Structure 1
């Protein structure tokens, strides 16, 4: 059963700027694939600094290098994905980088590459690009995900499987 997307456009430029800073564009090696905060992040959080959700993330959840669209004007959009128990997103793929933060519940994502991953509340990630995937809520509790698409003018952020 395909989920309906409850979309709330977040217009606060400060939030979008903060999310981009958190997502980062640098290299992170193997440590970048973990959504757990680094020791540096833990130290800054203890000192009253903001909690770091991603630190210099350079790879997607399937270890692909993050690639931004070229020669197009940048566009950032965000939404809240809400999945009730048993709901699915339907098979789709991202053509541009997509940052997600699990606000509530546990999201299960099946990738066409034969991999299934679970992301619990509090997890930050950059999802796979150009790989078919299907998100689902296999629990008895609601799932809510902040989705931030880092796209470009004229390029669809995601494409549904025909």
Structure 2
């Protein structure tokens, strides 16, 4: 005897099949994600701390000419950076110096004064993303 699947049973079976395949479809269509950096510390080992207040993300591209210097400064908020092109060398005082090149990702020192210079022969471009707060300066010059 052949039983026909009509009515509520057919609807239930089709619904179950659709729901069972939905996560697979979503996983197969979402583009690959390459994690560039995941950390809880800055490049010199400072634990990350977000400033108090209403959260504010600031995204900027910093462009430095060959030989150009930043001067000594510090950040009031964590700064995630990605080297779009070029090369910079940063002096962290007692923590030493580090050179960053195209494709490098980092969380910059934020409470410790530091100074950078474009140490390459070409323009350096850095994507800078500050995880700050309203009314908090992202960068403060040191005297």
Q: Same fold (TM over 0.5)?
A: yes
Q: Secondary structure at the match of 1:113?
A: helix
**Aligned CA-pair RMSD:** 1.5
1:65 and 1:151 map into 2 onto residues whose CA distance is 15
- Tell which structure's C-alpha radius of gyration is larger: 2
TM-score normalised to the size of structure 1? 0.67
Say if 2:119 is the partner of 1:128: no
Alpha-carbon deviations, 1:63-105, whole Å to 9, x = none? 11111112x0001111111111110111100111001000001
Give distance in 1, aligned partners of 2:115 and 2:72: 5
TM-score normalised to the size of structure 2? 0.75
The equivalent of 1:67 in structure 2 is 49
Pair 1:53 & 2:47 matched: no
Distance 1:65 1:131 in 2: 12
Could you list the structure 1 runs, at least 4 aligned residues long, displaced by more than 2 angstroms after superposition. none
Which residue among 69, 78, 82 is the counterpart of 1:97? Answer: 78
Pick aligned residue for 1:140 from 112, 118, 121: 121
Does residue 1:157 correspond to 2:138, yes or no?
yes
For residues 108-160 of structure 1, the C-alpha deviation after alignment (integer angstroms, 9 at most, x for no partner) is: 10112341001111011111121111111112111100011110112111100
Report the counterpart of residue 22 of structure 1 in structure 2: none
1:73-112 paired onto structure 2 within 5 Å: 73-112=54-93
Q: Is the 8 A contact 1:81 1:147 kept in 2?
A: yes
Q: Relative CO higher for 1 or 2, CA cutoff 8 Å, sep ≥ 6?
A: 2
Equivalent residue pairs, number: 114
State the partner residue of 2:3: none
Correspondences of 1:21-32 after superposition (within 5 Å): none
TM superposition shift of 1:58: 0.7
Gaps of 5+ in 1: 1-47
Alpha-carbon distance in 1 for matches of 2:95, 2:32: 39
